[in-house]
Structure 1
Amino acid sequence: MGSWTRMAVLLVAVLATATLSTALINELEPGKDWPTRGSVKQPYNQTEALTVPTEAYTSTTELVEETPPNVKDELEEEITILARAAEAGNVKVDYSGAQLWKVSTEKNGVRVILGRLKRRNLISTWAGNQSYVDVLIKPNAMANVTRVFARENISYDIIIDDLQKRINEENPPLDVNEIELQDRRGHRMTWKQYHRLEDIHGFLDYLAKTYPKIVSVNTIGKSYEGKDLKILRISDGNPNNKAVFIDGGIHAREWISPATVTYFINQIAENFDEESDDMKQIDWYFLPVVNPDGYEYTHLVDRLWRKNRKPSFTGRQCFGTDLNRNFGYRWGGKGASNNPCSEIFRGSRSFSEPESRAVSEFIKTSVANFSAYLTYHSYGQYLLYPWGYDNAVPPDHKDLDVVGKSIAEAIERAGGSKYSVGSSSGLLYPASGGSDDWVKAQGVKYTFTIELSDTGRYGFILPTTKIEPVARESLAGLRVLASYVSKL
């Protein structure tokens, strides 16, 4: 690397550090509830995206071993072929015969073996913690993986024996009565089905028209493909209100997340007068789908797509950045990859993606007094607080632990689901560049990542019959959060 390049990288790092130390910024005049339209910077063009070089980084503390950046292996080749085919003709990915295994990792060396299998493209990982990993096994890899597991005496259980069958059963069409109810109601949201982006955005607009005194909708930016990033606010207009920001759908395949967030919106807007004072004295900001391009892609092409849909522009035609590795606090550290073909690709630099940048600009420029930030994901049933970038906790971690456990208790009372509470890095594994870490670094007190149901029986392919139970118990937890926010 030449001296000028090294100097450029150093300058970027210094500027990034300066940005990270900035507290929550209120740049608008008092009384301005929303940032002015167009104030959020829009996507960099392709030329700008190529101007800042990135340093190679290989993490040894990820869930499983990541592909080294200088290895163009079968994984990259297959993803490249798949991406090109999908772009050319929207070829729907078929998972017939693929299985999900829950693999015990308590035996020494298991994670290393899983890393090798992953680099050979024999498995891919879904979720897990310090004692197990859920891995997806493709049909043509079944014999090889089974032989390796038998030779190494690795314990596992088959959780899903045919993934495509589960996908086919996941989101059945509505019956005639439900469709008629949609027509009478004026919107298509039902929480008996996973809905497309058009339905979700139409629902937000419907509420703004129906309850104009308390509900408003704004577009805070555009996705890479030009889709709106729509935020809905519920507020009684009291200037002394605190504020809570809630988002969902950062990871495209986690359909239960937008479903849960829209359920919150519906319940609070429709029943605002009956809500507790704690709930009514908060300005609620909801962004149900942070990653609209990826979300639509999971409906049309690949049900298990995770990232956004921005091309890498690196010569390897792999698509997408993991938006939850792209936020600017300790960006590029543990648990994030610099390989554009990886599912945890961090992006070319912090906030390189229009979606993450729009969220950060909105939070920084809003005059809302944000006291809490919740980002909903799936799966595993965890209530996670910072830090995620390394095995560390913020100074007020005891407060976060108390609130997290109170929320978990409310969820269990309401629906029976047991949630584990702890720091992201301590309870699961380090993952840098997360939205929760960045928001916490802006000075927002109660910051949580909530991994919704279940614990692995269905994984990302959660049946529609689970939507309302999961959302209902989660709302009970949200009301507990509101009681703590009101005391700040």
Structure 2
Amino acid sequence: MRLVIATIVALLGTTLGVSYDGYKVYKIVTKTEAEAALLRTFESNENFDFWSSINKVGKPISVMVAPNAQSQFEFILKTTKMHFSVEIEDVESTIEAERRYHQSRRPLKSGRITFDQYLRHDEINAYLAELAQNYPDNVTLETIGQSYQKRDMIAIRISSGPSDPPKPAVFIDAGIHAREWIAPAVALYAINQLVENPYYSLFTEHVDWIILPSLNPDGYEYTWDENRLWRKTLSNGTRCIGCDANRNFGYHWMEDGADDDECSEIYGGKEAFSEVETQNLRDYLADTPNIKGYLSLHSFGQYVLYPWSYADVLPDNADELQGLGEQINNAIEAVNGTTYTVGSTTATLYAAAGASQDWAMGGAGIDIVYSIELPGGGFFGFDLPPSEIERVALETFEGLKVFGQYFVAQKR
């Protein structure tokens, strides 16, 4: 039977298109580690896109499967008596519904913000420019570089002004995975509250906030115009374009949890820091003094994760990170009851060698480092309905406040 299954896996097709007509999403619940191991054999196959990790027996797993692979895949699931159901019969129809919603919205005036729809990259940058113009005493914009397709990667520094000694700074980025639209939206909400809500001026008195709302702008725009479920950057390749930027950082690069197949969703790149976007972030973190905390926003899954991502090992300050992570979770939970799982990335979720958080700690020397996997929603997790943006952003902001204020209490 193992030989039969292995042969079927090897014969499955090899190309995903940008139209998702006929693509299905399966929900699978494994009963044994052997079943989980079998599913892992599909992870590098281009006809399969796993939207949740295969890390714990009994935990539901969602995977999108191309039409030409579905009958063989279902045969394997039935032959091995694995429990499964079809969550989405046609992925394209859900993408079309989202597209129609945004087409129905009136265009924003340049430099304005809303949280009842997602914004394009130019709209994000226009809002940052408007804030810099309206709040020159508190807002500074820094272009950390340009993307592969020459889009400006703009970080905003929110500060009450210089101090002696210099205040600690926290750095937050979002959107490293293009399809995770809620992440830039949450970053924008945090910016909006810290700059435009006078109540939160207290939070910039002793800490500078540096927020990069769009770390992968090319991929993000590609999800609007070409392929809603695109994850990677858009650099040229031999067979496939792009790289998983969150596997491209040069700390334990291309170890466990990354793939050297350039068509894989977790392709780590032809070399560490092959992507201009990861180079820009590396150089900014290395050259900017006094960054004491780093946090990267992702979706989906409701996790507060800390290093290490390259293996199931813990940093020396794991107890501190676990404790602060639980405080972040408690603050978020107090708003709407949303709970997060707190733990190291590999032990809690999966290995992801070459992740930005590992480089932030191991390369840039930042001690307090997290990735937050925001809640999913909609039909396939990455399409959280616009009506839910403000709810998720509001509760997450409570956790971000705890993160920022930690450095005041610790006098780091």
SS in 1 for 2:373: strand
Q: In the aligned structure 2, how far is the partner of 1:159 from the partner of 1:353?
A: 35
- Note the 1:221-240 alignment, pairs <5 A: 221-239=145-163, 240=166
Check the 8 A contact 2:304/2:340 in 1, yes or no: yes
- For residue 151 of structure 1, what is the amino acid of its counterpart? T
Deviation by residue 1:337-392 (Cα, 9 ceiling, x = unmatched): 1111111111121111110011111111112x111111000100100000011001
Which residue, 201, 205, 215 being the options, matches 2:125? 201
Instruction: Name the counterpart of 2:349.
Output: 428
Superposed displacement of residue 163, structure 1: 1.5
Deviation by residue 1:111-134 (Cα, 9 ceiling, x = unmatched): 343344556655321222423432
Which residue, 244, 247, 258 being the options, matches 2:170? 244
TM value normalised by structure 1: 0.77
Deviation by residue 1:38-74 (Cα, 9 ceiling, x = unmatched): xxxxxxxxxxxxxxxxxxxxxxxxxxx9xx9xx9984
Q: In the aligned structure 1, how far is the partner of 2:52 from the partner of 2:377?
A: 9
SS in 1 for 2:155: strand
Check the 8 A contact 1:233/1:283 in 2, yes or no: yes
- Note the 1:322-471 alignment, pairs <5 A: 322-367=244-289, 369-441=290-362, 442-454=364-376, 458-471=380-393
Q: In the aligned structure 1, how far is the partner of 2:393 from the partner of 2:88?
A: 24
Aligned sequence identity (%): 37
SS in 2 for 1:193: coil
Q: How many residues align?
A: 396
Instruction: Name the counterpart of 1:148.
Output: 76
Q: In the aligned structure 1, how far is the partner of 2:269 from the partner of 2:43?
A: 21
Check the 8 A contact 1:278/1:486 in 2, yes or no: no
Check the 8 A contact 2:195/2:201 in 1, yes or no: no
Q: In the aligned structure 1, how far is the partner of 2:359 from the partner of 2:161?
A: 28
Check the 8 A contact 2:13/2:47 in 1, yes or no: no
- For residue 384 of structure 1, what is the amino acid of its counterpart? L
Which residue, 191, 205, 219 being the options, matches 1:294? 219
Check the 8 A contact 1:174/1:193 in 2, yes or no: no
Q: In the aligned structure 2, how far is the partner of 1:418 from the partner of 1:268?
A: 24
- For residue 261 of structure 1, what is the amino acid of its counterpart? A
- For residue 289 of structure 1, what is the amino acid of its counterpart? S
With 158-167 and 219-228 compared, the bigger mean Cα shift is at: 158-167
CA gap 1:121/1:309 in 2 versus in 1, 3 angstroms: closer
Superposed displacement of residue 106, structure 1: 3.6
Q: In the aligned structure 2, how far is the partner of 1:127 from the partner of 1:152?
A: 21
Check the 8 A contact 2:378/2:385 in 1, yes or no: no
Which residue, 138, 143, 164 being the options, matches 1:214? 138
CA gap 1:149/1:285 in 2 versus in 1, 3 angstroms: same
Deviation by residue 1:123-158 (Cα, 9 ceiling, x = unmatched): 321222423432102234333222221111111233
Deviation by residue 1:182-201 (Cα, 9 ceiling, x = unmatched): 44xx5243111111111111
Q: In the aligned structure 1, how far is the partner of 2:123 from the partner of 2:378?
A: 28
Instruction: Name the counterpart of 1:319.
Output: 241
Q: In the aligned structure 2, how far is the partner of 1:435 from the partner of 1:193?
A: 28
Any stretches of 5+ residues in structure 2 without a counterpart? Answer: 1-5
CA gap 1:411/1:174 in 2 versus in 1, 3 angstroms: farther
Instruction: Name the counterpart of 1:281.
Output: 206
SS in 2 for 1:147: helix
CA gap 1:127/1:456 in 2 versus in 1, 3 angstroms: farther
Instruction: Name the counterpart of 2:91.
Output: 163
Instruction: Name the counterpart of 1:269.
Output: 195
Instruction: Name the counterpart of 1:4.
Output: none
Any stretches of 5+ residues in structure 1 without a counterpart? Answer: 1-64, 83-92
Q: In the aligned structure 2, how far is the partner of 1:341 from the partner of 1:142?
A: 20
Check the 8 A contact 2:45/2:264 in 1, yes or no: no
Aligned: 1:475 with 2:403: no
Which residue, 102, 127, 137 being the options, matches 1:173? 102
Superposed displacement of residue 255, structure 1: 0.6
Check the 8 A contact 2:244/2:266 in 1, yes or no: yes
- For residue 177 of structure 2, what is the amino acid of its counterpart? H
SS in 1 for 2:215: coil
Superposed displacement of residue 429, structure 1: 1.3
Superposed displacement of residue 218, structure 1: 1.7
Q: In the aligned structure 1, how far is the partner of 2:306 from the partner of 2:295?
A: 10
Deviation by residue 1:291-333 (Cα, 9 ceiling, x = unmatched): 1111111111111111100012xxx321011110111111111
Superposed displacement of residue 234, structure 1: 0.5
CA gap 1:118/1:334 in 2 versus in 1, 3 angstroms: closer
**Of the two structures, which has the highest relative contact order with CA contacts closer than 8 Å and spacing of 6 or more?**
1
